[in-house]
Amino acid sequence: MTTLQIVQLTDRNPRVSPEELITGLVPPPHFEDVSFDSYRPDPAQPSQSEARDALRDFTARTPKQGLLSKLFGGRQVAAKGVYLDGGYGVGKTHLLASAWHAHEKPATFGTFVEYTNLIGALGFQRARDQLSTMKLVCIDEFELDDPGDTVMMSRLMRELTDAGVKIIATSNTLPGALGQGRFAAQDFLREIQALADQFSVQRIDGDDYRHRGAPTPPAPVTRARLDECAATAAGVVARDEFPVLLDHLATVHPSRYGRMLGDVDEVLWDGVDTIDNEGVALRFVALVDRMYDRNVEIHNSGVRLDEVFTPEMLAGGYKKKYLRCLSRLTALASQEER
């Protein structure tokens, strides 16, 4: 029988060494057993099975290298990377993790922010040298929130592909449109376009599978009900006052949120309220992403979870990021119903 352990995330501030950053670039627990065969494409959306087949072929292909291929490589029958573009909840991360599992190792798998943090921790040269030894680099949730990151990641990916490393990336925006609505894209158009040219684009259409049968999060419960949840739960439960948790996130780098969650099976949030600061909201999004990786169940008092972002945020430049977060919150909060 699993014993109950109540913890507080606000008590946790983990430290991660640079070496652990490299070894930790693997699919999260939520995707540790997925495969191309376990992906279930929607028959009404042929682009889903097409994307699966394209990735299966790409992972099986050995990139051509050497002087002759460089001299006589004019045919360019295959791209250096694949870019999976589609809405949230169509299975892009499932396919990306499937490619990692199927591909010859060594290979890395991480989110965009994990790679930028790796560069920050190791320095560009060392991070590039480490990643250049990989046969495949998988980049999930490609986010261009900062112009400096745009230039840095564009350079990294060009140098990796020049070294023969294959790259697969996912995002909710087509490569040629990266950065639109977030900063002055025209000032970085050359870098953005150079990045886009590394990939063949594989579009994935479809509805958000996480919302099938559960279009909105369940209603919030009372604090008394959260007390009951804490008393009857099994495993490790993290219970925090929501405003205090948000303050704590500012003291922990987002690259360490996964380590902060650690062995947590379920979270209980007291007093959830609408976030009115975009910096706070983006840190919360990063936390939810890591919770989704680990399939952490959510119960909360306060407002319903689909009210956690302001209408202005949901209409702004980070709209897709916030909508993806709401999709994941709905899935994590609806597990008991399902």
- Closest by CA position to 166, among listed 242, 288, 299, 59: 59
Query: Is residue 52 within 8 Å of 41, Cβ to Cβ?
Result: yes
285-315: per-residue pLDDT in tens? 999 989 988 899 999 999 999 999 999 999 9
Q: What is the pLDDT of residue 63?
A: 57
Q: What is the pLDDT of residue 58?
A: 94
193-225: per-residue pLDDT in tens? 776 777 788 888 876 565 554 468 899 999 999
Query: Is residue 81 within 8 Å of 200, Cβ to Cβ?
Result: yes
56-68: per-residue pLDDT in tens? 999 998 655 444 3
pTM for the model stands at 0.77
Structural domains of the chain, ranges and CATH numbers in brackets: 4-15+210-333 (no CATH), 33-207 (3.40.50.300)
Query: Is residue 156 within 8 Å of 110, Cβ to Cβ?
Result: no
More confident residue, 186 or 242: 242
Q: What is the pLDDT of residue 2?
A: 56
Q: What is the pLDDT of residue 15?
A: 85
Q: Cα 238 to chain center, whole Å?
A: 22
Query: Is residue 96 within 8 Å of 170, Cβ to Cβ?
Result: yes
Q: Which two tokens stand for residue 42?
A: 């929607």
Q: Which two tokens stand for residue 263?
A: 């062995």
Q: Which two tokens stand for residue 154?
A: 């564009």
- Residue 200 pairs with which residues in a beta bridge? 82
- Closest by CA position to 18, among listed 255, 334, 226, 301: 255
- Region of 242 please: left (phi>0), alpha (psi -120 to 50) or beta: alpha
- In the block, tokens 């360490």 appear at 256
pLDDT band at 1 (very low <50, low <70, confident <90, very high): very low
- In the block, tokens 């396919």 appear at 95
Q: What is the pLDDT of residue 319?
A: 82
Give long-range contacts, CB 8 A cutoff, 24+ apart: 59-64. Answer: 59/99, 59/102, 59/103, 59/136, 60/102, 63/164, 63/166
- Closest by CA position to 55, among listed 92, 88, 107: 92
- In the block, tokens 């919302």 appear at 211
Q: What is the pLDDT of residue 177?
A: 62
Q: What is the pLDDT of residue 310?
A: 97
33-63: per-residue pLDDT in tens? 999 999 999 899 999 999 999 999 999 986 5
250-286: b or e for each residue (b if 16 or more CB lie within 10 Å)?
eebbbbbbbbbbeebbbbbbbbbeebeebeebbbbbb
